[in-house]
Amino acid sequence: MIENLAIVVERQGRQVRLAAASQTGCARCDAGEGCGGGVFGKLIRRRLEGLLLDDQGLELQAGQHVVLGIEPGVFVKATALIYLLPLLGLFVLAALLAGAGANDAWIAVAGVSGLVCGAWLGPRLRQLYIDNQLAPRVLRRAGAADLTVCATTTARV
């Protein structure tokens, strides 16, 4: 689970409006090489501002820090749709025409068409099937351990 801190701005019934907590991680976290906080912040920070989420029965109040989480596998799916689908379209259409005995010019046109179709289709499929999974969810109230600077203590050699 990729986790990051947020601050409860206001409570609206069972939902809480959140704002991104200031990034206080170490340089490795900020660069996306540490515990994951930097990655989360870069990917979600804009979507987090003003976000309304269910408080998961935690009875959260304004000013409290919470830990948000996103499943890491969701990023792999989104990346596959955005990057691999166009490549798959390129290779499949080019291979189909090559198998049918078409000349090189038509194979190239088919490959580029597959690439363009995949590039057009990828973001639309992501919106339909993955974007709802990219929404963070409240995991817990932030404890003292969550508010420490960084949980990563290993240094690069």
Q: Which residue has the higher pLDDT, 106 or 7?
A: 106
Tell whether 21 and 57 lie within a shared domain: yes
Question: Which structural domain range is residue 79 located in?
Answer: 75-129
Residue 124 predicted with pLDDT over 80: yes
d(CA 139, CA 55): 9
The residue-averaged pLDDT of 51-62 equals 78
Rounded to the nearest 10 degrees, the angle between the axes of helix 104-129 and helix 85-99 is 150
Only one residue has tokens 């690439």, namely: 115
Tell whether 95 and 124 lie within a shared domain: yes
d(CA 30, CA 32): 5
CATH of the domain at 20: 2.40.50
DSSP-H helix ranges across the chain:
27-30, 37-48, 73-79, 85-99, 104-129, 131-134
**Residue 24: CB atoms within 10 Å:** 13
The residue-averaged pLDDT of 57-80 equals 82
Mean of all residue pLDDT scores within the chain: 77
Tell whether 89 and 45 lie within a shared domain: no
Tell whether 62 and 6 lie within a shared domain: yes
Is 19 in a helix, a strand, or coil?
strand
Tell whether 84 and 64 lie within a shared domain: no
Instruction: Determine what percent of the chain is predicted with pLDDT higher than 90.
Output: 24
Query: What does the pLDDT read at residue 72?
Result: 79
Structure tokens at 14: 């069972």
Task: Give φ, ψ of 88 to 5 degrees.
Answer: -60, -45
Number of independent structural domains in the chain: 2
pTM: 0.55
pLDDT tens digits along 20-51: 775 545 555 555 555 555 555 555 555 566 67
